[in-house]
Amino acid sequence: MTASLPGPVETTDSIRLALRSWTEVEAYLEHCKGVIIPLGSTEQHGPTGAIGTDALTAEAIALEVGRRSGVLVTPVQAFGMAEHHLGFAGTMSLQPATLLAVLHDLVLSLARHGFERVFVINGHGGNIATTKAAFAQAHGTATSRDLPVAPMLRCRLANWFMSGPVMRQARDLYGDREGHHATPSEIAVTLQIEPSLISKRRDLPDPAPAGPIHGPEDFRRRHPDGRMGSHPSLATAEHGAALLETAAAALSEDLHSFLSAA
Ligand code: NI
């Protein structure tokens, strides 16, 4: 059976899994088998960026995609694989094997109830390899446990910051000053969703360019203020609103094709 889109809702209240009762979720499953998991990270984002940047952005974009589609959104998984950022205060990381186990168990929980399409909206590049590994493992477990949903189970990873329209917009706004970590585009989205962060903005010296890194000590040696080639002082809340809109539109389209594909 193929899942379909329930359709747009006015506010996010009705699509937040955390605000639904189990009876409402059971009723939802009668007409939609899709669910969105926002996935972030809790890690340094340069001297001015919020530690929660990747979780804040993933959750806000997921809620907007949920509002446009009517698809349920789970609470954000705010801890990701951020081992290489552990040289900076405030970073909280899951080792790859831990994150794999967490995502595997979350997907299996949803599959057990009959969710067939799991759409992960991710805000952190360091989560990508592990998330794909977790999907592979979840498929194997669903099959070995003989879950009725196993043959229909599909998982998709949607990295909002890597979607074509978002990357084009970031390039138009910031050129090569977008960089690779603590980027002005992700910081802009946080300024839009959390205005208290606007007061942190200040001009910063040129950052070290991006390059290969080998663990947290090496990261801090090469990138002493935590940025990789980025100029987050270029970010504005207005840019953030535009980027959020672009990301939500692109990912809504992606979700639609994911839910309607066989
Ligand atoms: Ni980030």
Q: Is 204 helix (H, G, I), strand (E, B) or coil?
A: coil
Short-list 198, 197, 181, CA closest to 43: 181
Between the CA of 181 and the centroid of ligand 1 the distance, in Å, is 6
Q: Ligand 1 centroid to 36 CA: how many Å?
A: 20
Ligand 1 mean position, distance from CA 182 (Å)? 6
Judge whether 34 lies within some domain. yes
Q: CB 69: neighbour CB atoms within 10 A?
A: 25
Phi, psi of 6 (to 5 degrees): -70, -25
Can you tell me the mean pLDDT for 185-198?
97
Provide the CATH number for the domain around residue 184. Answer: 3.40.50.10310
Span from the CA of 56 to the centroid of ligand 1 (angstroms): 10
Is the residue at 6 inside a domain? no
CA of 186 to the centre of ligand 1 (A): 6
* C-alpha dihedral (140, 153, 74, 170), degrees to nearest 10: 100
Ligand 1 centroid–CA 45 distance in Å is 6
User: Does pLDDT of 2 surpass 90?
Assistant: no
Q: Identify whether 116 is part of a domain.
A: yes
User: Is pLDDT of 3 > 80?
Assistant: no
The CA 164 to ligand 1 mean position distance, Å, reads: 17
152 touches 161 (CB < 8 A): no
Give the domain range for residue 87.
Answer: 13-260
Query: Which burial class, exposed, middle or buried, applies to 66 when counting CB atoms under 10 A from its CB (0-12, 13-18, 19+)?
Result: buried
The percentage of residues in the chain with a pLDDT greater than 90, rounded to a whole number, is: 94
Q: How confident is the model at residue 5 (pLDDT cuts 50, 70, 90)?
A: confident
Confidence band, pLDDT 50/70/90 cuts, at residue 1: very low
Q: Does the pLDDT of residue 4 top 70, yes or no?
A: no
pLDDT digits (tens, 9 = 90+) for 153-178: 999 999 999 999 999 999 999 999 99
- Give dist(CA 222, CA 209) in Å, integer: 9
CA 149/CA 109 separation, integer angstroms: 12
Task: With 0.85 as the threshold, say if the pTM is over it.
Answer: yes
Is 2 part of any domain? no
Interval 187-214 mean pLDDT: 93
Q: What is the pLDDT of residue 209?
A: 84
Please determine, for residue 86, whether its predicted confidence score (pLDDT) is greater than 90: yes
For residue 8, being part of any structural domain is answered with no
What strand order describes the sheet that includes 72-73? 72-73, 34-39, 117-122, 154-159
Structure tokens at 74: 């789970």
245 domain-assigned: yes
**Residue 159 confidence (pLDDT):** 98
Please give the mean pLDDT across all residues of the chain. Answer: 96
Distance 174 CA to ligand 1 centre (A): 16
> At a CB cut-off of 8 Å and minimum separation 6, what does 184 contact?
170, 173, 174, 177, 178, 230, 231, 232, 233, 234, 235, 239
In the three-class reduction of DSSP (H, G, I as helix; E, B as strand; rest coil), residue 38 is classed as strand
Which amino acid would we find at residue 105? D
* Structural domain includes residue 5: no
Residue 211: what pLDDT? 84
Distance 109 CA to ligand 1 centre (A): 27
Q: Is 239 helix (H, G, I), strand (E, B) or coil?
A: helix
Residue 203, pLDDT score: 92
Give the orientation angle of helix 164-174 with respect to helix 237-260, to 10 degrees. Answer: 160
**pLDDT tens-digit readout, 89-143:** 999 999 999 999 999 999 999 999 999 999 999 999 999 999 999 999 999 999 9
Count of domains observed in the chain:
1
Using DSSP's 3-state secondary structure scheme, residue 112 falls into: helix
